[in-house]
Amino acid sequence: MSSTISASSSNRGPVGVLITNLGTPDAPTTGALRRYLKQFLSDPRVVEVPRLLWWFILNGIILNVRPSRSAAAYREVWTDEGSPLLLNTRDQAGGLQAALAKTYGDDVVVEFAMRYGSPAIGEGIEALWQRGARRLVVLPLYPQYSGPTTASTFDALAADFQARRWLPETRFISDYHDHPAYIEALADSVRQHWEQHERAQRLQFSYHGEPQSYVDKGDPYYDQCLATSRLVAQALGLADSDWDVSFQSRFGRDPWLQPYTDETLKSLPGQGIRSLQILCPGFSSDCLETVEEIGIENRDYFLEAGGERYEYIPCLNAGPAHIEALRQIVAGNLGGWLP
């Protein structure tokens, strides 16, 4: 009798894992950028300006100016197959599915989705539901928690759930900024770089910025960025003077988290730092903000200011150490669901 009513993993279907990232336009064109930026910059988690005022600024100024400029930047990084962020996230989902299958077989199914653009979060949940999943692990690929990224992803999840009668049981991973496997994957990416290139005078950790006011109001993002950097530096045995942290991608006129990456790189050669290796641990995939902004734009700033050697260390992307870290993060959230 008990066997017919037991809540075993098989009769509740597989566990669904949804990995998510920010999103990307459908094409590197002005029209596609206008649609993408409109959705992105209308999110009150991203821009905390009174709605009516922001509507006029966004529709009257920003969406007339920025889309063509951003489209030109996206064209610099676009591949024959599409946006690097989309391709990397798709490959991460495939890698994670294969890694989890080694332990759990068909009992875990993985999909990916994007907060803005497509595939949308609702499509990802629906795909998992159609595959039989009634329990979900949602893993936003933002190692450091922030309101504009992590909380916004939760909002999208909640918005999808509002339209569902039968909600999947859900676990939401808020951050993994100090997970040992993530730290080790980052440290290993630096070590691998050092095997090919001589160590530079400075290892620079650059994170996407956000307005300082968000942190002042309680967002833990800044502290988590510092903690990740310190842990990686410790794993590499660096002295305090060997590494530093800065924040990139400032948008608008309000003060953002400081120091700014571009100003830092312009000033370093004057302080005697002429060789630099830079990584972006807050980005789980290479994307516009790393390939173009760090790989091209900031390289020029450093070299024009008198720097001699500038090397960008790529993101973890779908590399084996990253997939193993993601596997451990998900597996750590399956307790009580799967043996």
Ligand X SMILES: C=CC1=C(C)c2cc3[nH]c(cc4nc(cc5[nH]c(cc1n2)c(C)c5CCC(=O)O)C(CCC(=O)O)=C4C)c(C)c3C=C
Binding-site members are: 208, 289
Given strand 202-208, what is the order of strands in its sheet?
243-248, 202-208, 275-279, 309-313
**Which positions from 27 through 46 interact with ligand X, judged by CB under 6 A?**
41, 46
Here the tokens at position 134 are 């009634």
Please, what is the minimum distance in Å from the beta carbon of residue 78 to ligand X? 10
Please, what is the minimum distance in Å from the beta carbon of residue 323 to ligand X? 19
Q: Is 208 in the site for ligand X (CB under 6 A)?
A: yes
Here the tokens at position 229 are 């950097």
Q: Is 293 in the site for Fe ion (CB under 5 A)?
A: yes
Distance, in Å, from the CA atom of 271 to the CA atom of 159, rounded to the nearest integer, reads 50
Choose one: 51-59, 144-152, 230-238, 317-325; the region binding ligand X (CB under 6 A).
144-152
Q: Answer yes or no: are the C-beta atoms of 17 and 109 closer than 8 Å.
A: yes
Choose one: 61-69, 190-198, 261-269, 288-296; the region binding Fe ion (CB under 5 A).
288-296
Mode of pairing for the β-strands spanning 169-172 and 15-23: unpaired
132: left (phi over 0), alpha (psi -120 to 50) or beta: left
Give the type of residue at 170.
T
Please, what is the minimum distance in Å from the beta carbon of residue 124 to ligand X? 17
Q: Which residues contact 287 (CB under 8 A, 6 or more apart)?
A: 22, 24, 77, 83, 84, 85, 88, 315
Binding residues for Fe(2+): 208, 289
Residue ranges with strand state E in 193-271: 202-208, 243-248
Q: Which CB, 41 or 127, lies closer to ligand X?
A: 41
CB atoms within 10 A of CB 99: 20
Here the tokens at position 169 are 């049981």
Q: Answer yes or no: are the C-beta atoms of 26 and 118 closer than 8 Å.
A: yes
- Total number of residues that touch Fe ion (CB under 5 A): 3
Of the candidate residues 14, 140, 269, 282, the single one contacting ligand X (CB under 6 A):
282
Q: Is 47 in the site for ligand X (CB under 6 A)?
A: yes
Q: Which CB, 92 or 249, lies closer to Fe ion?
A: 249
Please, what is the minimum distance in Å from the beta carbon of residue 190 to Fe ion? 23
Please, what is the minimum distance in Å from the beta carbon of residue 293 to ligand X? 8
Say which entry of ligand X, Fe ion, none residue 111 contacts (CB below 5 to 8 A, set by partner kind).
none
- Total number of residues that touch ligand X (CB under 6 A): 23
**Which positions from 64 through 83 interact with ligand X, judged by CB under 6 A?**
66, 70, 83
Residue ranges with strand state E in 148-306: 169-172, 202-208, 243-248, 275-279
Length of the chain: 339
Q: Is 249 in the site for Fe ion (CB under 5 A)?
A: yes
Q: Is 92 in the site for Fe ion (CB under 5 A)?
A: no
- Residues lying near Fe ion in the complex (CB under 5 A) are found at 249, 289, 293
- Residues lying near ligand X in the complex (CB under 6 A) are found at 22, 24, 41, 46-47, 66, 70, 83, 85, 142, 146, 148-149, 208, 210, 221, 249, 251, 282-283, 287-289
